[in-house]
Amino acid sequence: MLEYEHVSKRYTDGTVAVEDFTLQITKGEFVVLIGPSGCGKSTTLRMTNRLIEPTSGTIYLEGHDYRTIHPVVLRRRLGYVIQQIGLMPHLTIADNITFVLKLMGASKAERWRRAEQLLALANMDTSYLNKYPRELSGGQQQRVGVLRALAHDPELILMDEPFGALDPITRQQLQDELKRLQRAMHKTILFVTHDMDEALRLADRIVMMRDGRIVQVDSPERLLRTP
């Protein structure tokens, strides 16, 4: 579904953030990128989001070279969740969740139905739909951020330390929910973290990076067995 072929990124100041990144991700897979701060995780995610372009190498989405996919089309096929989730304070939860659908021209009724459906999937009460972000806890806001990324039913969801700012208990709750959601909706997820416990809990495959390079790719089960 997603393929990186010898992808490298050198920033204009000369920093080589990612070097010779080659990886294939299959549909429905949950892949976690892990490694110390500065090893190139966010750069990889930002290239996948096409916020930045690789210096060399190619990324393919279902066999199509990224460079040949129109940015609007690509954006529709991707969902993106970051730590600073940035819900829009003046919009209700329903409007926040379905913001992208509005841009795509969905009717109010359609958007409301979709928001209801997503809240149900996350076991959140529909009474939240008319609330504003400030009325929600940090954990609930982050949950809404995840739902917002799912609203337009993207094939691929990119997550950059989405639960990094949460307390350990809420964090674990959201990890479990995300895993359940991912299985139920059969989504492909590329998730960045520097927390090995989080990686082990979520991943089908863990990709370890260091100094811009992939150093190991393995399942959590095999990593746990490695001394």
**Cα–Cα distance, 146 to 118 (Å, whole number):** 10
* Positive/negative CA dihedral, 177, 183, 184, 189: positive
Nearer to ligand ADP by Cβ, of 15 and 137: the residue is: 15
- Candidate segments 9-17, 105-113, 122-130, 196-204, binder of ligand ADP by CB under 6 A: 9-17
Binding status of residue 10 toward ligand ADP by CB under 6 A: no
36: which residues sit within 8 A by CB, 6+ positions away? Answer: 194, 210
Q: Is 13 in the site for ligand ADP (CB under 6 A)?
A: yes
Which residue, chain included where needed, has tokens 């529709």? 76
Using an 8 Å Cβ cutoff, are 186 and 134 in contact? no
Residue (50 or 227) nearer to ligand ADP, CB: 50
- 199 binds ligand ADP, rule: CB under 6 A: no
Task: List residues bridging with 206 in a β-sheet.
Answer: 32, 218
Judged by CB under 6 A, the stretch of 42-50, 105-113, 120-128, 167-175 that binds ligand ADP is: 42-50
Residue span 75-94 as binding mask against ligand ADP, x where in contact by CB under 6 A, dash where not:
x--xxx-----x-x------
Question: CA 92 → CA 37, 38, 85, 87, 133, distances in Å?
Answer: 35, 36, 15, 9, 7
Answer yes or no whether residue 139 interacts with ligand ADP by CB under 6 A: no
Q: Give the interface with ligand ADP as residue ranges (CB under 6 A).
A: 11, 13, 15, 17, 35, 37-43, 49, 51, 75, 78-80, 86, 88, 99-100, 148-149
